[in-house]
Structure 1
Amino acid sequence: MIDALPDLVRPLGELASAELLTGGQFATTYRVTLTDGSRVVVKTAPVGTDQLLAYEHDLLRAEALVYGLAASLPALRMPQVLLTDFSRTLVPSDALVVSHLPGVPLVDSGLDQDDPRAMRDVGAVLAALHAVTGPAFGYPCGRQAGTWRESFGAMIDELLDDAARWSVAVPAAAVRDAMSRHGHTLADVERPSLVHTDLWAGNVFVEPATGQVVGIIDPERAFWGDPLADLVGVDPMSRSVGTPELLEGYGPGLDVTSASAVTRLELYRMRLCLVMMIEITPRRFEGDWVEPHRAAVTANLHRALEALARP
């Protein structure tokens, strides 16, 4: 990949240096400095699609699509797409080059991840994001449907198929029971909003001195669906619905207390825990962090299923 970087960025300028960025678990990402001193970010999808979950195919194309939508919406604070290469000729996978954002990831900023200023700004970003309406429910570059219930049901079915494919033990019967019991609540979602789904502290760039959010990245896992799913994505291991500051920044209009909303939040926790549990195997995650992570995700999944099993 790194050998192809000069040719990949040549339409923008001559490459001076490249730095591999760590922290992501899906794409390969470089910070590239051009000879004129400007910097860009180059991102390539995995070459081996046999290690991807069903929904993860064409994620960089989805990311480019979301950035394209954000280009006219400065409130989303996302990078600009500078070029794409989906020909898979210069590199054997999709490639995306975007502008370099200021600031640092909130997770690396030295600030608390629930920093009040940052959370208010994240809430405002989510409100602007959710105001964008899609053509249908589902993944921008994947399966779509006319209703959220049908779309979300297909997402869950795909994940259970992935678990079977990779021989990952998941409580499939309990998941199906939860969908059977509570799938009707998904019909309360009538508009396909743009949902980031992965707005944790690593994907939020801030000015460390103030906590001001100056950038939002990695919307490759976005879908058209229920805004409530983003409250789960902000902190996947939490049982809360966001900090008071986040909800304040979001403003009115987001129901988090009705019976339907509470149930849907548990369904979205269930889905995200399934993703996090299943992906460990095909990605071949390694390190001392893996087993504690697996245990925490499994516990959170069972807490969601227990809540969904109550009358």
Structure 2
Amino acid sequence: MERILIAAGLTDVTTTPLGGGTYNAVFRVSAAEGEFVLKVAPQDQPGLTYERHLIRTEAMFCELASKVAPVPEVVFADDTALLATLLPGEPVFGRSDVDRPKLRHELGQAVRALHDITGPGFGYPQLGLHDTWTGAFLGMVDAVREDADRYGVDLPALDLRRHTAAFDEVDRPALVHFDLWDGNVLADGGLTGLVDGERAFWGDPVAEFVSLALFGSVEDDTDLLSGYGFEFTDAARVRLAAYQAYLYSIMLTERVPRGSTDAEFERVIRDALTRALGVLA
């Protein structure tokens, strides 16, 4: 931490641990130059296949997204840590003091701006990019299923190859955050921030709607969709179900390296996974 703060040129520094992080260690940094957030990557922590060099991915996300949406600006980054500006507002999760329709409309507009950013290929940037979204996503699914086998997690069968025509429709690699649940959305009077972009990838914008309506149906969120300007097709619904199945498979598998023993939460995830697989059947 000291090395990073010196390299960033900060003075009169105090640091305070921040809760909520499930992968990186996170700290609030107060300095003469302002308020910042410092993320430090774990050392040799067991994880999933895609959970490598996530600091690099988040730095890339912030560099690109901060130009078009309320996203932290990078102050300093290397392979081990990321120092970024602290955004105003607090996470929306669990709050009743926000104008929800207004916030969701603003969130839809911000997410649309993210998705207008186009990448050089498809997939996770830290793992190497693919020429097609179909190839990238099927590889992502295979990887998490291999992770599940490695950690002894029983996942139901998921064969997406009969739906490849739906994935073939995606011909532009958009910037997808893929973790925009309410805990990573900040608000004050309105939307003030989108944070924790470490799990971002280049792919189908429809994938974003999974975490935006975690365990629910985004088609019920008319405020978000009107802000975004999105209308679902049958093919998009198939892809959405596949992305739900992918994320819920990740959430089940990562419980092992993270040491989670919450049986009720596991039931919630498995029920949501079953619903997604029902759409794909």
TM-score by length of 1: 0.86
1:108 & 1:271 partners in 2: Cα distance? 25
Query: Does residue 22 of structure 1 match 2:27?
Result: no
Residue from 201, 221, 224 that aligns with 1:223: 201
4+ residue runs over 6 A deviation: none
Q: Which ranges in structure 1 are unaligned for 5 or more consecutive residues? A: 87-93
Equivalent residue number for residue 138 of structure 1 = 123
Alignment check: 8 A CA contact 1:109 1:206 kept: no
2:273 & 2:260 partners in 1: Cα distance? 19
Q: Which ranges in structure 2 are unaligned for 5 or more consecutive residues? A: none
**Amino acid paired to 1:13:** L
Equivalent residue number for residue 237 of structure 1 = 215
Equivalent residue number for residue 158 of structure 2 = 175
**Amino acid paired to 2:5:** V
- How far residue 83 of structure 1 moved from its aligned partner, in angstroms, is 0.5
> Number of matched residues?
280
Alignment check: 8 A CA contact 2:123 2:137 kept: yes
Name the CA shift for 1:135/1:167 in 2 (closer, same or farther; >3 Å): same
Query: Does residue 39 of structure 1 match 2:35?
Result: yes
TM-score by length of 2: 0.95
Q: For residues 246-290 of structure 1, what are the alpha-carbon distances to aligned partners after superposition, in whole Å with 9 as ceiling and x for unaligned?
A: 011112xx341x21011111101100100101000011125xxx2
Equivalent residue number for residue 109 of structure 2 = 124
- How far residue 167 of structure 1 moved from its aligned partner, in angstroms, is 0.7
Equivalent residue number for residue 76 of structure 1 = 69
1:277 & 1:239 partners in 2: Cα distance? 20
Alignment check: 8 A CA contact 2:16 2:28 kept: yes
2:202 & 2:137 partners in 1: Cα distance? 10
2:73 & 2:165 partners in 1: Cα distance? 39
Report the RMSD for the aligned CA atoms in angstroms: 1.6
Residue from 266, 269, 274 that aligns with 1:297: 269
1:235 & 1:153 partners in 2: Cα distance? 23
**Amino acid paired to 1:299:** D
- How far residue 187 of structure 1 moved from its aligned partner, in angstroms, is 0.3
**Amino acid paired to 1:135:** P
- How far residue 182 of structure 1 moved from its aligned partner, in angstroms, is 1.4
Q: Secondary structure at the match of 1:40?
A: strand
Equivalent residue number for residue 90 of structure 1 = none
**Amino acid paired to 2:166:** T
Query: Does residue 273 of structure 1 match 2:248?
Result: yes
**Amino acid paired to 1:241:** E
**Amino acid paired to 2:39:** K
